[in-house]
Structure 1
Amino acid sequence: MTIQTLSPRRRRGFTLIELLVVIAIIAVLIALLLPAVQQARETARRMQCRNNLMQLTMAVHNYHAAHGVLPAGTVDHQGPIRNDLETGYRISWIARSLPYFDEGVVYRRIDFAKSAFEEPNRSLGQHSLRTLYCPSRGTPGFAYGACHHDVEAPIDDDNHGVFFLNSWLELSDIRDGLANTLFLGEVPSGPTWIDGSNRTLRNTGATVVFESTYAPYAAALQSPSGGADGEGADVDPAQAGLVCGGFASSHSLGSHFAMGDGSVRFVSTNIDGDLFRKLGHRDDGELVGDF
């Protein structure tokens, strides 16, 4: 009888070319999937940003329900507000709204007998609050401000917006209708939310810009059409401290805004300047179309 011995089967490994092909396929898959993952993350961040603005709008409405007026944009003995100087009282609308978006602990530590620049208020204003943070920023600081005027002008007691110097408006003062009037929006990140200056108040005299390209003064100047492109604008150094500036965000193509009725809209950076200006005026009687 013949006995046959079976030799072990020789295993074939990957060749270098096959390995490179596999690596190339994996690289292509990553390249295809990564933008989708990033887009999904940004969508989640935008949703959180929208929710923050909804909470803040609800907070100022609850303040109105409790006090009969909306919180003033800023409080001081006289205007206009000089944004380059830390003078006056200048407690912001955010500080007065704190109990209405679950920040009662911080609110109770504020000494309202003192200005925004005295302790403990100065330190409290630098405290990071979750509702004031937009996750798309990637840096600490607050991200939201209120609209004080429809054109570029100093913060004063004769502004056309809803939140300005010693404003204390009733909802009935907003004659254009809550759905047609801009309350809050995204602003360039600032160091303190307790200061009622251009850190927490902005206007619609400049169209929305992407924050990474934001020029604090140049982008704020009003163009003949009511908007601004921020290119080549000059500012009188003597007036620079009075310039307030427009809205800005870290979202590409636009910014979130909360209207007076609590709805949150994503406004394109290409919005018509005249239309954007109308949204910042509480009682101009102008018709506002789709945007």
Structure 2
Amino acid sequence: TSITQRPSKSGFTLIELLVVIAIIAILIALLLPAIQQSREVARRTQCKNNLAQLSLALHNYAMAHQVLPPGCVNPTGPIRTEEKGYHYSWIVQILPYIEENNAYHKFDFAVSVYDEKHLDVLMHTIPLLLCPSNPARGGNTYVGCQHDVEAPIDVDNNGVLFLNSSIAYRDITDGRSHTLFLSEVADLGELGWASGTASSLRNAGSGINGNMPLVNVPGSPSLRLQDLENGEEPAEELDEEYLLHVGGFSSWHSGGVHAALGDGSIRFISEQIDQETLRRLANRADGELIEDF
């Protein structure tokens, strides 16, 4: 009798398996950048929406009070980025206009913003204040425009949000569509969104994404004074210099930052922008009308 032999089933060989894995790896390598790019587009859109809502809140505040909120409230200036002072920020003033009434009413305006009774509200995370491209979850990534050059936060700044400012729309003689109100910062603000310091205010004194790091500020991961090798300038003077330093605009977006103009429009400002153009945008009344940038 003859025995019928069935053909044996062959599985994947090692070479075939490696080829399949290589093809899958190539597909992932091709698709991953596209997926990441689409996610960043979505994050940029959300960032623009956040700025638009903050811009609208500023406008609603101005309609209710006839002036924009003060960038920082404090008896005297210049303002140092440290936990000493009254220091209520413009963000605190607009809390009722961004559906944060509960947070607003937790502040006791008879005492400093840093008073221990404010600990809970200072730790409160407001999603609207966070750019989704920033990997950190907390703090503040949106700042007001304080001045057109690097200078301490004080009463004589020429932006729209600064120390004890009360800018009416009529004071913005360049026109709101030609004036920078808000932009972004990548370092989250060392003292939080309620502090009217460099944590919520910046200027056009440095290039986009070219910010000078703060040091000796609570919570700052930046360079420390003891790491600076400077035999000519005493540490105390460096400390004062850095505490008064405000810094420029920056973001986690590639190539630039989003910014809100006074008319509510949201623009993307390239990090290649001419420095003089940026300064003119930051100054509310220099007579220079910037159309294209």
* Equivalence for 1:24: 22
SS of the residue corresponding to residue 141 of structure 2 reads strand
Greater shift, 238-247 or 103-112, is seen at: 238-247
CA distance in 1, matches of 2:4, 2:24: 39
* Equivalence for 1:8: 6
Residues 102-141 of structure 1: pairs in structure 2 closer than 5 A: 102-140=99-137, 141=139
- The match for 2:178 among 180, 184, 191 is 180
* Equivalence for 1:38: 36
Amino acid at match of 1:143: T
> Is the 2:140–2:199 contact (alpha carbons within 8 Å) kept by the matching residues of 1?
no
Residues 1-291 of structure 1: pairs in structure 2 closer than 5 A: 7-83=5-81, 85-140=82-137, 141-187=139-185, 188-190=187-189, 191-209=191-209, 214-217=211-214, 237=238, 238-291=240-293
- Residue deviations 1:260-291 (CA, integer Å, cap 9, x gap): 11111111111110000111000100131311
Amino acid at match of 1:49: C
CA distance in 1, matches of 2:11, 2:119: 68
- Residue deviations 1:198-229 (CA, integer Å, cap 9, x gap): 1111001111117xxx54259xxxxxxxxxxx
Deviation at 1:96, TM superposition (A): 0.6
- Residue deviations 1:123-150 (CA, integer Å, cap 9, x gap): 4223111100111111122111100100
SS of the residue corresponding to residue 208 of structure 1 reads coil
CA distance in 1, matches of 2:101, 2:171: 28
Amino acid at match of 1:100: Y
CA distance in 1, matches of 2:188, 2:195: 13
Q: How many residues align?
A: 270
Deviation at 1:178, TM superposition (A): 0.9
SS of the residue corresponding to residue 202 of structure 1 reads strand
Deviation at 1:239, TM superposition (A): 2.5
Identity of aligned residues (%): 51
SS of the residue corresponding to residue 181 of structure 2 reads strand
CA distance in 1, matches of 2:2, 2:179: 93
Amino acid at match of 2:268: F
Give unmatched runs, 5+ long, in structure 2.
216-231
- Residue deviations 1:243-268 (CA, integer Å, cap 9, x gap): 11111111121111111111111111
Deviation at 1:173, TM superposition (A): 0.9
CA distance in 2, matches of 1:273, 1:116: 34
TM-score (norm 2): 0.87
SS of the residue corresponding to residue 53 of structure 2 reads helix
Greater shift, 46-55 or 3-12, is seen at: 3-12
> Is the 1:122–1:194 contact (alpha carbons within 8 Å) kept by the matching residues of 2?
no
TM-score (norm 1): 0.87
Deviation at 1:87, TM superposition (A): 2.4
CA distance in 1, matches of 2:176, 2:112: 31
- Residue deviations 1:140-181 (CA, integer Å, cap 9, x gap): 221111001000001111110000111111111111111110
